[in-house]
Amino acid sequence: MSAADARATAAFVPMPATWYGWLLIGAYIYSLNLQGNVVSFLQDEFGLSYRAVALHSSAIAVGNIVIGLFGNHLIRRIGRRRTLWLSVAGFAACQILLCLASAPWASIGSCFLIGVFGTMIPAVVPALLADIHGEHRAEAYAGQSIAAYVFGLAAPLLTGFFVWQGLGWRAAVISGAVICVAIGLWFRKTALIETAPQTHFNSRRLPPAYWAYWVLLVAACALEFCLLMWAPTFLQQIVGFAPASAATAAAGFPLGMLLGRIANGRLVRRVPPQRLLVAALALTFVGFLVYWGTNLPAVSVVGVFITGLGIAPLFPLVTTLAVGAALEAKDLASVRFAIAFGVSLLLAPIALGALADEAGLVLAHLALPALIVVAYASFFIATALQKRSAIVPAA
C-alpha cells in the first residue's frame, strides 16, 4: 500500500516509514530520559555541584534550540532521509563520547552534541508522519507518543539493571546508541516522502495560529518537565514520604503519562482533537488540586497519577493542531517544535526551583495552574486565529 492509499483509507494504517519514525523518536526519548539517571553518577565521578550538574540538561536544551532555529536549512539541503541518517550516526557517536568523557567540559559538550544530533529526529518525524497519514496524523502522533513513553520508561529500568549487574551507567548509554543504529540499519531501505519543493521553506511562513499553538506546546512541555523534576521533592518534603518512597510514589506520574497516551491513541479516532485538548487540560487541573491540596500521602499519589493522565495527550494533540495550522509549511513547523521543547526544558524546572527558593515549594507549585491558564488562552487564541484566516480569503 502506498502512502497515498493509506491516507485515502477510512482506517489508520501504519506504514514502514511510520514505524521508522516512531522507533527513532523512542530511541531519542530513551537517551534523553537517561540523563536524569546519568548526571547523578557524573556528579559523583567529577565532584560537581548541583549547578554544574544542571549544565548537562541545559546543554541538551541549547542543542534543541540550535536545531529549532537552523535545522530547516539542513533538511532543505540534504532531505529527510539523509538528515535522519546523519542524526542516527551523530546521536550514537555522541552518546559514546559521553561515556568516554573524563572531565566536566567533555560531558557537558557531549550533552550539547546529543541535543543537536538527537533533535534532528523530532525535527523531521512530525512532518513526515503528517505527509504519510494526512487527516489521520492525530493517530500517527498518538502512536509516536506511546512509543516515546515506552522507551522513556525503559531508560531508568535498564540503568538500574545494568548498575545492579555491576556494568555501570555507561552500559545503559551504549545500549541507547546501539538501539539507535539498529533502527537506522533496519529501515535503511524504507521509502520516505521527501520535503516539498525548496521554495516552501522560503516562501511559506508559519501563520499566527501556529505560533499560538507553539506557545501552548511550551506550556505543555513545561508542565511535564516540572512534574518530572519536582514531584519527588514535593512528595518528600511537603507530603512526608521517605526519600526512597517519594521516588517510588513519583513513578505514578510517568505511569499516568503512559496510560494516558495509550488512551489518547484510541480516543483520537472518535473525538476531535480540540475537545480532547480542552478535557485534558481540565483533567490536569483536577489532578494538580488532588496532588497539591492535601497532605495525605495516598491521595497525593493519586493526584500525581491523574496529573500524568491529563498531561499525557497534550503533546500529540498540540502537534496535530499545530501542523494542521501550518498548512504547507509542515517541515518548518516540525523544526520549530524543537525550540519549544528546548525553551521549556531550559527554563521551566529552573524557574520553579527559583520560585521555591523565594516563596517555598508549596507556593512555587502554583506556577503549574498558571501554565494551564496559559495553555487554555493559547488554545482559544489559536482557534480564533484559524477561524479568522478561514474567513478572510472568502471576503
Look at the alpha carbons of 74, 76, 77, 83 in this order and tell me if their dihedral is positive or negative: positive
- pLDDT over threshold 70, residue 3: no
Predicted confidence at residue 378, as pLDDT, reads 96
Of 64, 110, 127, 118, the C-alpha closest to 89 is 118
Architecture field, domain 200-395: Up-down Bundle (1.20)
User: CA–CA separation, 250 vs 236, rounded Å?
Assistant: 10
Predicted confidence (pLDDT) at residue 265 exceeds the cutoff of 60 = yes
Contact 256, 274 (CB under 8 A): no
Give CA–CA dist 373/379, Å, rounded: 10
Architecture of domain 1-195: Up-down Bundle (1.20)
Highest mean pLDDT among 139-143, 184-188, 226-230: 184-188
User: CA–CA separation, 37 vs 247, rounded Å?
Assistant: 12
Q: Which residue has the cell 497519514?
A: 133
**For residue range 229-254, what is the model confidence (pLDDT) as tens digits?**
788 778 888 888 876 677 677 778 88
The one-letter code for the residue type at 29 is I
Distance CA 138, CA 174 (A): 33
How far apart CA 219 and CA 209 sit, in angstroms, is 16
Mean pLDDT, the chain, rounded, equals: 83
pLDDT at 200: 46
In angstroms, the CA 75 to CA 73 distance is 6
Residue 238 gets which letter from DSSP? I
Please write the tens of the pLDDT for every residue from 11-20. 677 888 899 9
Cell numbers standing for residue 370: 498558571
**CA-based nearest residue to 322, from 127, 65, 115:** 127
Three-state DSSP state, 312: coil
Percent over 70 (pLDDT), the chain? 90
CA 128 to chain CA centroid, Å, is 17
Task: Report CA dihedral (35, 17, 149, 350) to the nearest 10 degrees.
Answer: 50
Average pLDDT over residues 136-149: 81
Nine cell digits for residue 98:
559521553
pLDDT at 137: 78
Query: What residues does each domain of the chain span?
Result: 1-195, 200-395
Whose cell is 548541583? That residue is 50
Dist CA 251 CA 228 (whole Å): 9
77 pLDDT higher than 80: yes
Q: Dihedral sign, CA of 252, 255, 259, 264?
A: positive
Nearest to 310 by CA among 266, 265, 253: 253
Q: Are 83 and 116 in contact (CB under 8 A)?
A: no
Listed in sequence order, the residues at least 6 apart from 118 whose beta carbon sits closer than 8 Å to its beta carbon are: 28, 31, 32, 60, 63, 87, 91, 94
Query: Comparing C-alpha atoms, which of 176, 42, 160 is closest to residue 101?
Result: 42
